[in-house]
Amino acid sequence: MARCLKLLLVSTPVGPLGSGLGGGVELTVVNLLTALTQRGHQVAIAAPESSHINSHINSHINGTQLIQIPGTLQPTAQTQGRDTPATMVDNAVLANQWNYAHRVQHSYDLIVNFAYDWLPLYLTSFFDVPIAHFISMGSLSWVMDRAISQVHDKFPGTLGAYTQTQVDTFPPGLTWQLLSSAIDLSQYDYCQTPGPELVWLGRISPEKGLEDAVAAAQRTQTPLKILGKLENPAYWDNIQRTYPNAPMEYLGFVNTQQLQATVRRCQGLLMTPRWVEAFGNVAIEALACGVPVVAYRRGGPAEIIDHGKTGWLVEPDSVDGLVASIQQLATINRYHCRQQAETEYSLPALGQRFENWFETIIENR
């Protein structure tokens, strides 16, 4: 095992840990904390104030520092356009996080950036301690593409991402460390005999394409449970008006324990991303419960789902394709879904991948 590393994880500035505003990257930060701590590393996290890590994890992780940084949350990058300039709001938590990181940097062997923002990329040259940049989405703006390319040129090997399809959205010629993702399998209980319900998980926001899942539920008259942060109320209102008699139920944003208790009893998860989903953590959460996934063949889910074995990959934006696959769900052996999660998406595997990446960055410094 490599030596014990002292690591500072700087979380996304769009929301406190545990708020759901940070979507999949929140799960990545919390799971990485567990995986690295279990490997004997010392981990601290600097996150927007009001962050919390659910008690299950806190209980067996001592010595973890969760540093609450005050300030104004960062506007989300996926709601802006490609020409969006880098944004710096007044009293930005992003700036306060990196001011803190700069001040304490010499207490750490490595700093890990989880913000999809210009500032930490730009600041890298002004730090003595190396910074690993985990890029959590595909290409969204020229400003970020350029900042990512510049960090790559000055500090090769320090760019990390989830999947190849995500990396393919960025300018060519960059080398990336592909880290995939993982979940704490001990928090997900396998279910062999589901009810008739379908489930949709994620931030309720246009890039997630919820309306297609609702349309498919209405067409098949299959009840659809919806879970996730209600990020865009106007978008949700519009879906409700467009599909007034769809058999759907919005259950809010819940913690992992409550989420898996609902998901495991469903016959299938629907994933309807409009954008190139960098990974799609909700897919492996469902697989861990034995729930097959019907997903558009787009982005991360296309690399996760074993078509016909652990779910179905559908022509992107085709509600007909969703409907046809929903009718095939019963032919999937649910235990194969759990097995795939165990072999490919366990926490120890994630911890090993990140530790290898960190060691390489530190050695090359």
Q: Which of 115, 217, 226, 282 binds ligand HBI (CB under 6 A)?
A: 115
* 136 is a contact residue toward ligand HBI (CB under 6 A): yes
* 205 is a contact residue toward ligand HBI (CB under 6 A): no
What is the Cα–Cα distance from 365 to 360, expressed in whole angstroms?
Answer: 9
Neighbours of 126 (CB within 10 A): 8
What is the Cα–Cα distance from 220 to 322, expressed in whole angstroms?
Answer: 10
Residues in the interface with ligand HBI (CB under 6 A) total 16
What is the Cα–Cα distance from 231 to 118, expressed in whole angstroms?
Answer: 23
- Give the per-residue contact string, 160-189, with ligand HBI (x = CB under 6 A; - = no): ------------------------------
Q: Which of 7, 9, 17, 25 binds ligand HBI (CB under 6 A)?
A: 25
Which has the closest alpha carbon to 239: 203, 262, 205, 276? 205
Strand ranges across the sheet with 311-314: 248-250, 224-227, 198-201, 268-271, 293-296, 311-314
Structure tokens at 139: 């290409």
* 137 is a contact residue toward ligand HBI (CB under 6 A): yes
Structure tokens at 274: 């409009």
* 124 is a contact residue toward ligand HBI (CB under 6 A): no
* 340 is a contact residue toward ligand HBI (CB under 6 A): no
* Beta strand 268-271 pairing with 248-250: unpaired
* 202 is a contact residue toward ligand HBI (CB under 6 A): no
Distance in Å from the first CA to the final CA of the chain: 20
Q: Which of 9, 17, 69, 77 binds ligand HBI (CB under 6 A)?
A: 77
Q: Which of 34, 51, 74, 256 binds ligand HBI (CB under 6 A)?
A: 74
Stretch that binds ligand HBI, among 10-18, 145-153, 173-181, 250-258 (CB under 6 A): 10-18
* 299 is a contact residue toward ligand HBI (CB under 6 A): no
Stretch that binds ligand HBI, among 48-56, 72-80, 190-198, 302-310 (CB under 6 A): 72-80
The helix (H) or strand (E) run that includes residue 111 is strand 110-113
Amino acid at 194: P
Stretch that binds ligand HBI, among 20-28, 100-108, 190-198, 205-213 (CB under 6 A): 20-28
Residue keyed to tokens 């940049």 = 133
Rounded to a whole number of angstroms, the minimum distance from the CB of residue 116 to ligand HBI is 4
Binding site for ligand HBI (CB under 6 A): 12-14, 22-25, 74, 76-78, 115-117, 136-137
